[in-house]
Amino acid sequence: MQKPCANCHTMHNSQGYAFINIAERQDALMNDTCVGCHTSSSVGFEDPSGVVQPYVWTTVNPGYNEMKDPSNFQPTLAGGNFYWVAGGAAAHLKGHNVEGIAGAFSRSPPGDGTSGKTFDSATPITCAGVNGCHGDTAVVSQVESIRGSHHSNVAIDGNTLLGSYRMLDGVDGREDPDWEYTLTASDRNQYKGAVRIFDSEWSPKLISSFCARCHGNFHHDDGGTGTADLAFSSPWLRHPVDIDIGGRGDEYAYGGGAAPAPFQVQTPLGSEFFPMGGPSETVDLSGANGWGIITCISCHRAHGSPYDYSLRWNYQAWPGGGYNGCGDCHTTKD
């Protein structure tokens, strides 16, 4: 980020004869919280001051185009939007109920296997830090946990925090410069996956492994149910992630079954590798070669969506309405 320092920092906590921050001190002389800076009262992408920043929470309905149809443009970014989960207790399934946006429920993360966390009003989910997703998750302070990340623009490889995808410490990936504000098959994020052989395989560079820090059982086929299924193969106890749908034949005709298949932006596949020159409009599904990998993000938005379980599409209303995103891969189940 190369913008005026005052856009984010305040030297004296004073501006226009008023305090910038009254309620609490902000580390690093920040003039607002994570939520504060990434919240907008409009659905635009670029605020009037010209500062380009991803709005993850809009206080007005940003609209949602589940199919990402270019002819029906809606400015929801790749992670979705917290607008819907902020709608009160009845909306708690529509995203992560992050502090400052949505009320906390006293519960452990769904599918939690190892984190041992319980989030409640005293220890809510935060954007960053020990109870958050972004930054160094070993650091308590949210601001401190993302130290330097906004000032760095190093190549993403997941080897350092500064080189991590979207400040998700250790995660690899390829970032769309406008956070999928505009979206096509060749203008998008590319998520990091892997072709797993064993259920126990786990790598911090994978987006799904990252989710598994809190939702660990959901990453494994056999965890937490008492049903032993140690093989990482069908029949599955849980829907697998970090598995390649390429070359499977049978019911899997993603993108219409063409080879290579058109990339479906509404159900993005991750990859073990990243193509030179940016995302490809097609995906090679000729075999389990690492290009067509199911990740958590293939079905879910990280921040929130209009739909329960933060799904990318209105799956609950299907059939008869909504959209069967499952059918993008399970093409005979539509």
Partner 1 sequence: MRYSDFWTFLLIAAFGPVSYYPGLVQAAGPYLDSAHGNSTYGVSRVDIAAAGFVRGNCAHCHDQHASVGAGSADLYMLFDKSNTDQARNLCLNCHGSGTVYQTGGHVINRSYSFRAGGWTADPLNNVKDAFSSLSQASSHNLNDIVKFAGATARSWKYNSIDTGNANRGDSNACGVCHDPHLIQGDPAFYAFNQNSPKSAAARTGVVTQINSSPVNLWGDKFLPDLATDNPVERMSSYPTYRDPYRSTVTPTFEPDGNSAQQGGANSVNYVAFCTTCHNDTNAIYSSDLFRQLNVIDWPLVEKHGQEFADDDIQMNGPYSSGNGSLGYVLSCLDCHEPHGAVNVFLIRGKVNGGVTTSANPSFSTSIISGNEFGQLCSQCHNPRPLGSGRDWEDVHHDNTVVDGPYLKVPGSCNVPAGGCHANAAGPPVGVQINCYGCHYHGAVTGGTNPVTLGTIPMPDLVIGLNPQTF
Which of 96, 238, 303, 312 contacts partner 1 by CB under 8 A? 238
Which of 185, 201, 275, 290 contacts partner 1 by CB under 8 A? 185
Q: Answer yes or no whether residue 235 interacts with partner 1 by CB under 8 A.
A: yes
265/252 Cα distance (integer angstroms): 17
- Which of 23-31, 35-43, 174-182, 318-326 is the region at the interface with partner 1 (rule: CB under 8 A)? 318-326
Total residues binding partner 1 (CB under 8 A): 50
Q: Answer yes or no whether residue 88 interacts with partner 1 by CB under 8 A.
A: no
Residue 174: closest CA among 157, 195, 153 = 157
- Measured from the CB atom, the residue of 244 and 328 that comes closer to partner 1 is 328
DSSP 3-state helix, strand, coil percentages of the chain (rounded to 5)?
15, 15, 70
H-helix or E-strand containing 142?
A: helix 142-145
93 Cβ neighbours under 8 A, 6+ residues apart: 85, 308, 309, 310
Which of 237, 247, 248, 260 contacts partner 1 by CB under 8 A? 237
Q: Answer yes or no whether residue 217 interacts with partner 1 by CB under 8 A.
A: yes
Closest approach of partner 1 to the CB of residue 257, in Å: 6
85/304 Cα distance (integer angstroms): 6
- Which of 78-86, 117-125, 217-225, 286-294 is the region at the interface with partner 1 (rule: CB under 8 A)? 217-225
172/201 Cα distance (integer angstroms): 16
233 Cβ neighbours under 8 A, 6+ residues apart: none
Residue 54: how many CA atoms within 13 Å on its side-chain side?
Answer: 21
- Measured from the CB atom, the residue of 205 and 238 that comes closer to partner 1 is 238
112 Cβ neighbours under 8 A, 6+ residues apart: 214, 215, 216, 217
- Measured from the CB atom, the residue of 57 and 263 that comes closer to partner 1 is 263
Which of 63, 87, 111, 163 contacts partner 1 by CB under 8 A? 111
Q: Are 214 and 187 in contact (CB under 8 A)?
A: no
Q: Answer yes or no whether residue 117 interacts with partner 1 by CB under 8 A.
A: no
Q: Answer yes or no whether residue 334 interacts with partner 1 by CB under 8 A.
A: yes
Contact residues for partner 1 (CB under 8 A)? 67, 69-71, 110-111, 184-185, 217-218, 224-227, 229, 235-239, 251, 253, 255-258, 261-266, 308, 315-322, 324, 326-328, 330-334
